[in-house]
Structure formats: C-alpha cells, structure tokens
Amino acid sequence: MTTTESRSGRERATAQRRTVGEPSAGGEGPAGEGPAGEARAGEALAGQALADPGPPWARRVAVVAGAMMVGGAGLNTYNVIARPGAYAGMGRWFQRVSPWDLGPLPELWEATFGEHPRVVVPVVGVGFEAAIGVLALSRDPRRRAAGLAAIAAFHTALLGMGLWAWAVPWLAVLVPAAMVTARAGRRRAAGARGRRR
C-alpha cells in the first residue's frame, strides 16, 4: 500500500467518525464542535429537511395505491374511447354482488355512467382517479396524505356499493398510511418553520 492510499483511508475514517460525532484520531472532538463542525451540522439538518419523514411502509402503500389509481384512469381512458358500452349494466352488477339493497344507486349509475359514459367517465373515472393517484405518488408528505385520504374515500364509496372484498383490505392499509403520512407532513412543516425563525 502506498502512502497516498494509506492517507486517503485515514481521511475516510476520520470523516466517518465526524459524521457520527466520535472524536477523531487527532483529538479534534465531535463534528459539532467549532465553526467547521457547526457548518457540517447545519448541512446535515438541511439534508434532513429534504428527507421524507414518513415511515417507509406508508410510502410503499402510497406508491402502490397511487399507481393503481393512475392505472385505473388509463384503463378508463381506453374503455371510454374503445368500449363506452362497458359501463352500461354495471349498476345492476353492483346490486347482484352487494350484500344489501343499494336502493337508487344502480339506477343512478345507469343514468350517469351507463347513458353518458363519454361525459361522466372522463371526469370521474379518468380525471378524479388520475389526480388522486398523482397526489399519492407525490414526494411532499402533505400532498401524499391528501392523495391517500382521497383514495380511502374512493374505496369507502366502493364499500357503499357492496364491494366489501375489495374495499375493506384496502381501507385497512390506506387509513393508517394516510394518518401517519399526514403527521409526518405536519412535523416536516413545523420543522421548516422552526428553522426559519
């Protein structure tokens, strides 16, 4: 090993010790001491401000749910262009799979999605689903929480139409993910306000 290689290895070890706050071999003390240490600590805080404060599992839920909604918007786009008649009769199908009587919902479905798919589907099935999917995929925890909450509301509506087997498992993960993401967004916003003061 050459002297240059040995020195670069020592420099890396010293930098690692400073990052975790241990004293270096030269006795310089932790990274937080002195002007240079304070500058490094400020840079670390700035990096933490950009980091996502939410738990990784909630981010994964948001990615899967957001991608599902964007994919659903894409499927609805295809259907409304190539097969607009696919939406007719779905109201009756909802009634058949529902464990209770849906009352006027099947007729309402037929009067909107069934009779006017080229008007209603682009607004609800494409626009709304794409918007909440994109929000759930956002890097900003507050936007992501709004997207997750909207996707949970969408699945609550599916629950109301009797699609329990689909909606209940999704709600079991969406609601907690939206809650912890919203808390993380509030913590991040409070931290940013505190650094500005």
Q: Is the pTM of this model over 0.75?
A: no
Lowest model confidence (mean pLDDT) among 9-13, 17-21, 61-65: 17-21
Give helix then strand counts, H and E, for the chain. Answer: 9, 0
How high is the pLDDT of residue 22?
Answer: 45
| Length of the chain in terms of residues written | 197
List Cα–Cα distances, 25 to 11, 12, 101, in angstroms: 10, 12, 76
d(CA 57, CA 35): 38
155: nearest Cα among 92, 56, 61, 82: 61
Greater confidence (98 vs 38) lies with 98
What is the rounded distance in angstroms from the CA atom of residue 62 to the CA atom of residue 56? 10
Is the separation of the CB atoms in 111 and 120 below 8 Å?
A: no
Mean pLDDT of the 61-82 span: 97
Q: At 148, which amino acid appears?
A: L
What pLDDT does residue 5 have? Answer: 47
Residue scoring higher pLDDT (22 or 125):
125
Place of tokens 């040995």: 6
Averaged pLDDT for residues 135-147: 96
Query: Average pLDDT over the chain, rounded to whole?
Result: 81
Please report which confidence band the pLDDT of residue 19 belongs to, taking 50, 70 and 90 as the band edges: very low
Average pLDDT over residues 74-92: 93
State mean pLDDT over 74-86: 94
Report the candidate in 175, 147, 145 with the shortest Cα–Cα distance to residue 159.
175
Residue 38 in tokens: 């304070």
pLDDT, residue 191, reads: 72
Q: Angle at CA 183, nearest 5°, toward 181 and 55?
A: 45
What is the rounded average pLDDT of the residues 6-23? 50
d(CA 75, CA 109): 19
Nearest to 133 by CA among 195, 77, 191, 51: 77
